[in-house]
Amino acid sequence: QQQVKQSPQSLIVQKGGISIINCAYENTAFDYFPWYQQFPGKGPALLIAIRPDVSEKKEGRFTISFNKSAKQFSLHIMDSQPGDSATYFCAASIIYRDDKIIFGKGTRLHILP
Amino acid sequence: DTGVSQDPRHKITKRGQNVTFRCDPISEHNRLYWYRQTLGQGPEFLTYFQNEAQLEKSRLLSDRFSAERPKGSFSTLEIQRTEQGDSAMYLCASSPTWTVYGYTFGSGTRLTVV
C-alpha cells in the first residue's frame, strides 16, 4: 500500500511558468509533510516542509498548499527556472514518534529555457 | 565537509558476493537512516538507528541485509549473497533527535549486481 501518492510522474514547464506537483496521503496520523529536491547523482535535499496546522507555507518561489480535510498537499514553484529542473518528492512523517519519512514516487520536472 | 558521507559511491559486484557500505553522519546527529532508491522511484525506508540502537527495520530488509552502528557514530550496511534485485542506490541520512529539525541525505552508494 502506497502511503503517499504523487502526481504527475513527469512535468514540463516553460521558463517563468508555474510548476504544480500534487500529493495525497492516507494516514491521518501524519503530521509533517516535507518536499525534497533531487538532482542526478545526489541525495534528496529538503526544500520546504509544512505541519497540518497551517494551510500554506511560502519560502521564496516555493509554496506548499495543504488541505487537511482532503488529505492532499501540493508544491507550487513560481517563476520556474531551468535550474529548478530536478526530481521532486513529497513525503510524510509522524514526528516525535516513529519519525521515519515516507516518500512519494517522485515527479521529474523539466523547465524549458 | 560537514555533510553526510557515503563510501563507496559506486559498487559493481557479481551475484552471490557480499558487499558492505559505510555512512558517516553529521557528527552532532544522533539518528541515522538507511533508504533504498530504485530507478524512477522514491527512497524506501530500510532501517534507522538512534545512537547505537537499531530502532526499526522495514520488511524490505530481508535476512540477507544487516546494519550496524557501533558506538553511535558511522554505520555500515551489509548485503550478503547479493541478487540482481538488490541493484539500487543506497542512501544514508542523518538527523538530530527529531526529524522535524532536518534530515540530511548523503549522495548514496549505487550498487550494480551483475
- Pairing outcome for strands A86-92 and A107-112: antiparallel
The confidence score (pLDDT) of residue B1 equals: 52
- pLDDT given at position B100: 66
The C-alpha cell of A22 is what?
500534487
Residue A94: its pLDDT value, please?
87
Residue A66: CB partners within 8 Å, gap ≥ 6? A33, A50, A52, A54, A55, A56, A57, A72, A73
The enclosing H or E element of B72 equals none
Cα distance between residue B23 and residue B92, in whole Å:
6
User: Would you tell me which residues 11-30 of chain B have a C-beta closer than 8 angstroms to some C-beta of chain A?
Assistant: none
Cα B65 versus chain centre, distance: 10
| Residues A107, A87 contacting (CB under 8 angstroms) | yes
Q: How confident is the model at residue A33 (pLDDT cuts 50, 70, 90)?
A: very high
For range A62-90, the mean pLDDT: 97
Contact by Cβ (8 Å): A75, A63: yes
Looking at CA atoms only, how far is residue A14 from chain B in angstroms?
A: 23
Residue of A nearest to B5 (CA): A43
Which chain A residues in 17-36 lie under 8 Å from chain B, judged by CB atoms?
32, 34
Three-class SS state of B59: coil
Q: A93 to chain B: which residues are within 8 Å by CB? A: 99
Contact A107, A7 (CB under 8 A): yes
CB contact under 8 A, B56 and A100: yes
Per-position pLDDT tens, chain B of length 114:
579 999 999 999 999 999 999 999 998 888 999 999 998 899 999 999 999 999 888 888 889 999 999 988 999 999 999 999 999 999 999 988 766 666 899 999 999 999
Per-residue pLDDT, averaged over A61-71, amounts to 96
Q: Are A38 and A87 in contact (CB under 8 A)?
A: yes
* pLDDT, tens digit, 9 for 90 and up, residues A79-105: 999 999 999 999 999 887 767 889 999
What is residue A98's predicted lDDT score, i.e. its pLDDT? 65
Q: A1 pLDDT band (50/70/90 cuts)?
A: low
Reference B75, options B7, B22, B9; nearest CA is B22
> For residue A91, what is its C-alpha cell?
513525503
- Closest residue of B to A40, CA-based? B107
